[in-house]
Structure formats: C-alpha cells, structure tokens
C-alpha cells in the first residue's frame, strides 16, 4: 500500500475545524467530566460494542459499587458480573477484574500506567483502549482508532482504504498519528472530537455532509 501523504495545510485545517465543532457540539457525557484513569477505563470498556444510552446509567451504578480498582480486585467475580449485567459481553468485566488483580499484586502504590505501551501489557487492553486511557486520563499525545474514528479518517483522507483489512487498519493508525496535534491537551480534544463526529455526523448509515465541519477538506464529501 502506497504511503498516504497529508499536506500540512490540510492537516491543520482539519484539526482546527474539527475541534471548534466539538467545543460547540459535544455531548455532556459523565466520563468527559473526569480525568480519573480508572473511571475512564471503565467507560471505555463499557462502550465497546454497546450504545451510549445503555452505558450512561450502568457507568454511574458500577462506579458507585466499585469506586476504585482495588474494590474490583477484592470483590467476588459474581458481584462484578452482577454490576455489569445488562451490558453483555461479560469478558470485558472479567478482564477488568483480571487487570485490577494484576495491579493489586504489584503493591498498594500500583496504578494504571500513563503510556500506551505499558497499558497494552495489562489484561484486556488493546491498542484503542490504551490510547483512550492515555489520552483522556493523562492527556498524553496518543492516537486512537475505533470504528467511528476509522470511518472519519478514511472518508476524509483515504476513501480507497478498507480499514477492515490488516493493511487498511494499519494505514488508518498511521493517519491518526499523522493528524494528531502536537500537545497532549489539544490531542485530548482532537480524539474526543473524532469519535463524536463519527457518532453524530459521519455515521455508518448516513453521511451528513452539509452539517460536517470538515467537509471542505474531505476527499469523499457528497455536497
């Protein structure tokens, strides 16, 4: 696959338009009001393959029952599963407890690491979740790619790429890194904005190009 080159002016225009739109249109979601790494991790695990509307009430209830990773580590697995009920994909809850117990064995001062590579070494954390925790909890300059982000980036910069293929998936990650802002604080907003645009405007079913803030730099706009 040929390398994808993005002109600096296009990259800068994309980022500025995207972040300005997000600041004006972002949904008020509970996990966006915190930088607590554990809270961010719980939200990201819950949001995997589950709609936001189902996650919001379960997120608050789960954290009320398990306010810290230590409380997850100490609990009986059945209690964790009970608190997770209604979300499905229970392997996510089992992985959360495995992760909590892994950290607990490291001692009282153990905490979720801030770097994506270290996060990926923990049970149940893949590339996307590692990037999300690093970016949203620690404001690290970390790219992340989920289904929404992949859709936005391929439509804007590389409509010929299929992100479902191995080479396409790797290419999307390279694009995500290439368009990432220079600072971690700005990257936080940038990553949130990419996900939000894919969820609300550049959706799988409908391309709302007339409402899209980055349509002037998009390679596949329909208006």
Active site residues per annotation = 44
Residue 103: CA count within 13 A, CB half-sphere = 24
Other beta carbons within 10 angstroms of residue 22's beta carbon come to: 20
Q: Are 193 and 22 in contact (CB under 8 A)?
A: yes
- Nearest-angstrom CA–CA distance, 12 and 30: 29
For residue 149, report the phi and psi dihedrals to the nearest 5 degrees. -65, -45
């Amino acid at each position: 696959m040929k390398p994808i080159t993005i002109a600096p002016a296009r990259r800068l225009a994309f980022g500025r338009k995207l972040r300005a739109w997000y600041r004006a249109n972002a949904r008020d979601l509970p996990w966006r009001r915190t930088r607590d790494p554990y809270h961010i991790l719980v939200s990201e695990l819950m949001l995997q393959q589950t709609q936001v509307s189902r996650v919001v009430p379960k997120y608050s209830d789960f954290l009320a029952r398990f306010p810290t990773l230590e409380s997850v580590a100490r609990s009986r697995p059945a209690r964790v599963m009970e608190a997770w009920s209604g979300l499905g994909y229970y392997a996510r809850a089992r992985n959360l407890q495995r992760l909590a117990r892994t950290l607990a064995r490291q001692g009282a001062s153990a905490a979720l690491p801030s770097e994506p590579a270290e996060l990926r070494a923990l049970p149940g954390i893949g590339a996307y979740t590692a990037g999300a925790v690093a970016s949203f909890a620690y404001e690290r300059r970390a790219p992340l790619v989920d289904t929404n982000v992949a859709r936005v980036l391929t439509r804007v910069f590389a409509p010929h790429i299929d992100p479902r293929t191995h080479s396409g998936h790797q290419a999307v990650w390279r694009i995500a890194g290439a368009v990432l802002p220079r600072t971690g604080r700005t990257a936080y907003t940038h990553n949130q904005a990419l996900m939000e645009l894919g969820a609300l405007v550049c959706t799988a079913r409908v391309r709302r190009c007339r409402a899209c803030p980055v349509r002037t730099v998009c390679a596949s706009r329909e208006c």
